[in-house]
Structure 1
Amino acid sequence: MTYQKVREAIYTPLRDEGIFTWDLMYGSEYALAAIHSISQGDKTELAYATEQLGGIFAKTATAIQRMDMPIFRELGIPEVVINASRIHVLGAPTLIGRFDFARTKRGWKMLEFNSDTPGGIVEAFYVNGQVCAYYGKEDPNRGMNIGIKRAFAEITERYQVLGYPTARVVFSALDWHSEDAGTTRYLLQQSGLNADFVPLKDLHVYQDKLCALCDGDFRPIDLLYRLHPLGMLGEDVDTDGFPTGEYVLRLVERRKLGLINPAAAIISQTKSLQALIWNLHVIDDFFTSEEQEIIAAYMLPTYYENVFLGQADYVAKPILGREGGNVQLYHADGELLEEEQEGWFSKQMVVYQQMVDLELITVPVAGGLYSGRLLWGSFIINGKASAIMARVGGRITNDMSYFLPVGME
């Protein structure tokens, strides 16, 4: 059977059932009809690294929440988000997050933490299993979706303890964006909550509440799952100039609206936190000896200033960038190796991280064979390691890098 026929056999049923409709993106192949293997040892180590790093990020972020405003500004957290991000909702750094890892000659290395609005959820928790079933492979993510329901129940209880109302729940995203809307609807279904999907355009502030405009009525919202980055939310303005996003964050501060992921997720989202963690690691007066070992094993040297020039190849990353936007790779001598010009993040402050080469693999695609770099994603759900996923693309993984299903070796 040709690759294209295999591809249609896998993805046509998924498209028809309406859960995963973005196997093609912008007219190009996104989800591959191939499968990559992972060993039990690698899977176990990824889960271990994920949970241990989650604890380190949680410890650091919680300490920051107790500090004065200047530390938030130094980390590059938008001013409008700071007060909301100081509210401590979870013991974990976020409810649903994803660490990105590279497998290198020196072992697994974590590149960044997507703790605010991570993508790839449907791919990892649902599609991966369907492709494994087609190929008769064991799904490394089997049963992981149970953790999603448990996590939504736990955060709802936490908001209740903190005095937030939680009766009226809405899941929201851009309804025209198939990936965002599909991911949000999938999480709604998995959450077990009595909730509705409402497009972002139908959310309005009315009578000191965030409301969903439904059939001409403004229906108050108590708990909002939003696949909309906090940095963008803070800048949202209505057509009449009303600062809706800022007002929403004030509602969070006043405990009239709960967010999922919580606003505190932005503390771990900013890549400047990686630089702070590495600095604390070097100083060696904050982390335990066990935490120090984890940082040395799984994190990469990351700094606010470029200490790598003349010493080692490095990467310059916007602190709140997404999908590789405006990332730049440099040789040690300062020569630009590669850059991702697409993105809205060119004016953000950057951090500098030691560069590692992602594993080079060759996979079948619609056009033949493709040689690309392999990036691993490892989800963390309320502090617990969860599903994994793989992407294949260039040296900089962007939104058009392929999704590569993974089966047990």
Structure 2
Amino acid sequence: MKRVVVNERPNWQADAENCGFTIHSINDERYWDERHAYVFTLDEIETRLEDPSATLLQMCYSAVDRIVADAGLMSRMAIPPEFHGAVFRSWRNRERDLYGRFDLAYGGDGPAKLLEFNADTPTSLFESAVFQWRWLEDMKARGEISRTADQFNSIHERLIDALRFLPGPSRRMHFAGILGSEEDLVTLNYLVDCAAQAGCEAMLLGMADIGVDAKHWLTDLQDQRVDCLFKLYPLEDMVREPFARHLPATPTRVVEPLWKLALSNKGLLPVLWDMFPHHENLLPAYFDDDPRAEALGETYVRKPLLSREGANVTLVNHQADGGNYRVDGPYGAEGYIRQALRLLPRFGDDWTVIGSWIIAGQPAGIGIREDDTPITRDTSRFVPHYILD
């Protein structure tokens, strides 16, 4: 793995706008950044990223087995007690999920380490699946990189294949989210397009516009039953919505399913460490009130159970600045975990994290984010990659 300087395409902003990637810049700062790229060997991709991602996923499934069978553990992970039975049934029935993303610390100098699993509503999907592939093909055509270059990226194809099986006999899907959020809308519009390519009738729906009928079906603005709902909205928030009490009984297929409450939670990390201690792809992790957490000493990362985009994460005595580094946010009341500190690899002045995408239970590609701080946030820059042997 190395970072190389490459020439920006003169028309990249127009290309982004033309394909619907309107969040290529955030607050007049680059979000998409093609001034450099990351280069991997094929063996590195397969043995250091793809294979470990498949292994981590199987470990996560084993963790779900344990979590859903333990009401005390679910409560410790801030899963509402009234949903414990529904989460158990959702997992027992093997309700289909669509996608997730492992965040990995990897710099080419040892095993990839799991930082967290974004198992519900992970961002940067379109740029990972589509726009970095467009960049690769364009750069090869321009002669900027070798025509033999490839990319670890089957995300788009796997999404379409997965969406063929989600909606059921009606072939109708609603895609819900906060439609006023440009970032969410880019992802939702992309998934609607994927669903259409999969032969589905797909439509957008605002979260505030979801209704419920007398038989617990979720409904849309036309009072039509929603057969299958993909929601780009956190499950931990959804179970607190006014219609939440209908979720355990609804015939509507909801994606992501309720069992993802066990994975989209930093409490997963201490469960994994307890089940698979000293695994080369894991970091030691404990619930904040676990006496064993003291073994981490004064150098660790403290994360809220339900934090997103780095919010309320604290690096304690991290090696970069010789003190604490913290990102503000609204989380923390639900509890914390502590994880052994593994600083992200640094290339130049940038801290780099690899997002390893899981589509319908299979590793499907990577997306790379950079930040000038050691905590990845929603404004962290997206940088493309390619494979060259």
TM category (shorter chain) comes to: 0.7 to 0.9
Residue deviations 1:365-398 (CA, integer Å, cap 9, x gap) = xxxxxx2100000011122110101000111111
Where does residue 368 of structure 1 map in the other structure?
none
Cα distance in 2 between the residues matched to 1:259 and 1:310: 39
**Partner secondary structure for residue 195 of structure 1:** strand
Task: List aligned pairs for 1:101-250, cutoff 5 A.
Answer: 101-103=104-106, 105-136=109-140, 137=145, 138-156=149-167, 168-191=172-195, 192=198, 193-207=200-214, 208-213=216-221, 217-236=222-241, 243-244=242-243, 246-247=244-245, 250=246
Q: Relative to 1, partners in 2 of residues 1:332 and 1:338: Cα closer, same or farther, differing over 3 Å?
A: closer
Pair 1:300-2:278 in alignment: no
Matches within 5 A, 1:46-65: 46-65=49-68
| Conserved 8 A contact 1:57-1:93 | no
Q: Do the aligned partners of 2:354 and 2:369 also contact (CA within 8 Å) in 1?
A: yes
Instruction: Give the deviation of 1:55 after TM superposition.
Output: 0.6
Task: Summarize the alignment of residues 338-357 of structure 1 with structure 2, pairs less than 5 Å apart.
Answer: 338-341=325-328, 343-357=329-343
Aligned partners of 2:296 and 2:151: how far apart in 1?
A: 42
Tell me the residue number matched to 2:352. 374
Identity of counterpart residues, as a percentage? 23
Deviations 1:135-155 (A, max 9, x none): 225341444321112222344
Shift of 1:58: 0.8
With over 3 angstroms needed to count, the CA separation of the structure-2 counterparts of 1:93 and 1:172, relative to structure 1, is closer
Q: In structure 2, what is the Cα distance between the partners aligned to 1:40 and 1:84? A: 42
Q: Which residue of 1 aligns with 2:307?
A: 321
- Unmatched 5+ stretches in structure 1: 161-165, 237-242, 283-294, 363-370
Deviation at 1:117, TM superposition (A): 1.1
Give the distance between the partners of 1:90 and 1:386, measured in 2 at CA.
25
Question: What TM-score do the two structures reach when normalised by structure 1?
Answer: 0.81
Give the alignment's TM-score, normalised by structure 2. Answer: 0.85
Per the TM alignment, residue 349 of structure 1 is displaced from its structure 2 partner at its CA by: 0.7
Q: 1:198 to 1:255 in 2, by over 3 A?
A: closer
Query: In the alignment, residue 116 of structure 2 is paired with which amino acid?
Result: E
Amino acid at match of 1:315: V
Compared with structure 1, are the counterparts of its residues 344 and 83 closer, same or farther at alpha carbon in structure 2 (3 Å cutoff)? farther
CA–CA distance in structure 1, aligned partners of residues 83 and 14 of structure 2: 42
Give the match's secondary structure for 1:175: coil
Structure 1 distance, partners of 2:76, 2:167, is 31
Q: Give the number of equivalent residue pairs.
A: 362
1:76-87 matches, cutoff 5 A:
76-86=78-88, 87=90
Q: Which runs of 5+ in 2 are unaligned?
A: none
Task: Report the CA distance between 1:340 and its aligned residue.
Answer: 0.5
Q: Deviations over 1:266-318 (max 9, x none)?
A: 10111112101211234xxxxxxxxxxxx611010001136346746200011
SS at match of 1:50: helix
Instruction: Provide the C-alpha distance between the structure 1 equivalents of 2:174 and 2:43, rounded to a whole number of angstroms.
Output: 40
Equivalent residue letter for 2:211: H
Cα RMSD (Å):
2.5
Q: Are positions 1:96 and 2:99 aligned together?
A: yes
Kept in 2: contact 1:97–1:379 (CA 8 A): yes
Q: Which one-letter code corresponds to 1:346 in the other structure?
A: G
**2:266 alignment counterpart:** 271
Structure 1 residue 64 displacement after superposition: 2.9
1:318-370 superposed Cα distances (whole Å, 9 cap, x missing partner): 1111000000011289x8520011x22132211100001211113xxxxxxxx
Displacement, 1:69? 2.6
Taking structure 1 as reference, are residues 171 and 130 closer, same or farther at Cα in structure 2, changes over 3 Å only? same
Cα pair distance change 1:80/1:9, threshold 3 Å: farther
Structure 1 contact 94–116 (Cα < 8 Å) conserved: no
User: Within 1, Cα distance between the matches of 2:257 and 2:375?
Assistant: 28
